[in-house]
Structure 1
Amino acid sequence: MKQYLITAYDYTDAEALNRRMAARPHHIEGVKALKESGNFIAAGAMLNEEGNMIGSTMMLQFETDEALEAWKQNDPYTTQHVWESIDVKPFKVAVI
């Protein structure tokens, strides 16, 4: 499978954190499904100085770029306007 490092930054408007918190349970359910299907490697929220979530970093793997794109377009953080920008880079987990 191809591995990817996803860095997604949230919108910065006054309602951004509220949208994130409203979408979060749905996003977490999707991440659980990614784990069950073998697509999940690791993930977490990026925090600002106040400890508020301002983005996400994920390491995922998919068979194809198209499968990654389908996930990205359907994730609740995308559809519910939490993530303003999403950067995807090819990635290789080190086996140590």
Structure 2
Amino acid sequence: MKQYLVTGYDYTDEGALKRRADTRPHHLDGVKELKANGNFVAAAAFLNEEGNMIGSVMMLQFETDEELEAYKQGEPYITQGVWESVDVKPIKVAVI
């Protein structure tokens, strides 16, 4: 499988934190589905000085780049305007 580091940075407008909180249950449902399908490796949220979430990092794996694109098309943090920008890089997770 191809592995990817997906980094999403949240919008910084006044409603950004509420939008994230409102969308988070849907995002987590999708992560559970990714895990059940063997696509999820690991994830974490970026925090600001106040401890609020301001972005995310996910390690995912898919058979094809097209599967990655399909995930992105359905990712609630993208479709609901939580992530202002998304960066995807190919990675190789170390097996220890």
Is TM (by shorter chain) over 0.5? yes
Instruction: Output the amino acid matched with 1:41.
Output: V
Structure 2 unmatched runs, 5+: none
Superposition misfits of 4+ residues, deviation over 3 angstroms? none
Query: Secondary structure at the residue paired with 2:50?
Result: coil
How far apart are 1:44 and its partner, in Å?
1.0
Q: For 2:89, give the aligned amino acid.
A: K
User: Aligned residue for 2:37?
Assistant: 37
TM-score, structure 2 as length reference: 0.98
In the TM superposition, 1:1-96 aligns within 5 A as 1-96=1-96
Aligned-pair identity (%): 74
**Residue identity matched to 1:8:** G
Q: CA RMSD in A?
A: 0.5
d(CA) in 2 for partners of 1:95, 1:39: 16
Q: Which amino acid aligns with 2:16?
A: A
Query: Normalized against structure 1, the TM-score is what?
Result: 0.98
Segments of 5+ residues of structure 1 without an aligned counterpart are: none
CA distance in 1, matches of 2:79, 2:89: 21
Q: How many residues align?
A: 96
